[in-house]
Amino acid sequence: MTKETNYQSRQPDDKGLIAWSPEENLVWTELYARQRPLIEKRACEQYLKGMELLKLPKDGIPQLPDIDKVLMANTGWKTAAVPALINFGEFFRLLANKQFPVATFIRTREQFDYLQEPDIFHEVFGHCPLLTNPAFAHFTHTYGKLGLKASKEDRVFLARLYWFTVEFGLVKSGNDLKIYGGGILSSPGETVYSLDSDVPLRQPFTVLDALRTPYRIDIMQPLYYILPSFDHLFDIAEMDIMTWVEKAKSHGLFPALFDTKARQAS
């Protein structure tokens, strides 16, 4: 997790509303206009259905209470406005209580194409539509409860599971591959690269493999794991994931598929 940030989150008022500036709303408008056409034929149907339910505005940053109404009605979740960075303990605590952390800032134009910190566009556009889906919501809730009880060492392994599912997961849909990972769906470059490029590896998902795979946050992913179906997230949530963590620790990590000298692998 990034230890420093140049961003300052906006504070909601007593109704949970944020007075976003015209420039901040314009950044959202331009990000939305660029990304929405890219995902229409690439995102999984569960995500697209969630987008319909949320009715995210095109011309300004949505207010979290409006998102909460839809999430609560469908899966009992809601958002939680948080600072730009939170620690793993707080992250897991929120997920365990069916609260999805949303950093209340939006990227600047200098980092329009990429930033390491998850901003409100990444969290809301990338993740919140799938929180309307019971399988995704159940998996995320289970993940939060496991992480809340896990040791510091085990949380590092769990972070890899999250990375290769919630953030950068692909899923089979008939004969096609679709995207469900929010890290892909909020990135125009990775949205195209993940499905269309012949550079990355794409392999069937297993819990053990995901737990053993190093990743970097500052590159296009060299490997994506593919779920056999979206509802397989239910099956994963019902597994004894911590036993798989122990197996992953005994097996050790796979060799990294990237330059480990440039940045320490996670």
Q: Which of 24, 127, 141, 194 is catalytic?
A: 127
Reference 38, options 200, 187, 165; nearest CA is 187
Looking at residue 87, the DSSP 8-state letter turns out to be -
Q: Which of 9, 186, 187, 194 is catalytic?
A: 186
CA distance 194 to 199: 9
Q: Which of 9, 122, 141, 187 is catalytic?
A: 122
Q: Binding site annotation covers 141?
A: no
CA distance 161 to 149: 16
Pairing status of strand 170-173 against strand 176-179: antiparallel
H helix and E strand count, the chain: 12, 6
Is 141 noted as a catalytic residue in this protein?
Answer: no
CA distance 64 to 88: 22
Q: Binding site annotation covers 232?
A: no
Looking at residue 109, the DSSP 8-state letter turns out to be G
CA distance 133 to 111: 31
CA distance 21 to 19: 6
Is 251 noted as a catalytic residue in this protein?
Answer: no
Looking at residue 117, the DSSP 8-state letter turns out to be S
Q: Is 166 exposed, middle or buried (CB count within 10 Å of its CB: 0-12, 13-18, 19+)?
A: buried
Q: Which of 24, 117, 167, 190 is catalytic?
A: 167
Reference 115, options 105, 124, 100; nearest CA is 105
Is 122 noted as a catalytic residue in this protein?
Answer: yes
> Do 184 and 194 form a contact (C-beta atoms < 8 A)?
yes
CB-based contacts of 33, cutoff 8 Å, min separation 6: 58
Q: Binding site annotation covers 127?
A: yes
Q: Which residues are annotated as a binding site for Fe cation?
A: 122, 127, 167
Q: Which residues are catalytic?
A: 122, 127, 167, 186
